[in-house]
Amino acid sequence: MAAVPTTDHPVLVGVPDQPPLDPRTLDPRTLDIKAKQEAYHDWESRTYEEKFSISYDQRCIDYARDRFRKVVPAGAGFGRVLEVGAGTGFFLINLALGGCLEGAALEATDISQGMLDVCRRNGAEHGLDITTTQGDAEALPYDDDTFDLVMGHAFIHHLPVPGAALREMLRVLRPGGTLVIAGEPTELGDRISWAVKNTTYRAFMALTALPGLTDLRKPSIRASGGSAVDEVLAGLEYEVDLHTFRPRDVEKMARLAGFREVRVVTEELTANWFGWAVRTVEGSIRPDAIGRRWAYGAFRGYLALTAFDERFLQGRVPRELFYNLLLHARKPYADATR
Ligand SMILES: C[S@@+](CC[C@H](N)C(=O)[O-])C[C@H]1O[C@@H](n2cnc3c(N)ncnc32)[C@H](O)[C@@H]1O
Looking at the 3D structure of the chain, how many domains does it have? 1
Q: What is the mean pLDDT of residues 203-219?
A: 95
The atom of ligand 1 lying closest to the CA of 160 is: 19
Could you tell me if residue 198 is inside a domain?
A: no
Shortest-distance Cα residue to atom 17 of ligand 1:
111
Can you spell out the DSSP letters for 128-185?
--EEEEE-BTTB-SS-TT-EEEEEEES-GGG-S-HHHHHHHHHHHEEEEEEEEEEEEE
Could you tell me if residue 214 is inside a domain?
A: no
Could you tell me if residue 195 is inside a domain?
A: no
Measure 53 CA to ligand 1 centroid, in angstroms.
17
| Ligand 1 first shell, C-beta below 6 A | 34, 37, 41, 85-87, 90-91, 110-112, 115, 136-138, 153-155, 158-159, 183
The atom of ligand 1 lying closest to the CA of 83 is: 6
Could you give the CA distance from residue 168 to residue 87 in angstroms, rounded to a whole number?
18
What digits encode the pLDDT tens for the residues 293-305? 887 889 889 999 9
* Mean pLDDT score across all residues of the chain: 90
Could you tell me if residue 2 is inside a domain?
A: no
User: According to the model, what pLDDT value does residue 29 have?
Assistant: 45
Measure 145 CA to ligand 1 centroid, in angstroms.
23
Containing structural domain, residue 68: 10-185+227-269+288-298+324-330
CATH of the domain at 41: 3.40.50.150
User: According to the model, what pLDDT value does residue 320 have?
Assistant: 96
Least confident span in 1-5, 82-86, 224-228, 231-235: 1-5
Shortest-distance Cα residue to atom 14 of ligand 1:
85
Measure 302 CA to ligand 1 centroid, in angstroms.
24
What digits encode the pLDDT tens for the residues 137-163? 999 999 999 999 999 999 999 999 999
Could you tell me if residue 5 is inside a domain?
A: no
Could you tell me if residue 84 is inside a domain?
A: yes
Could you tell me if residue 181 is inside a domain?
A: yes
Could you tell me if residue 63 is inside a domain?
A: yes
11 pLDDT band, cuts 50/70/90, is low
51 pLDDT band, cuts 50/70/90, is confident
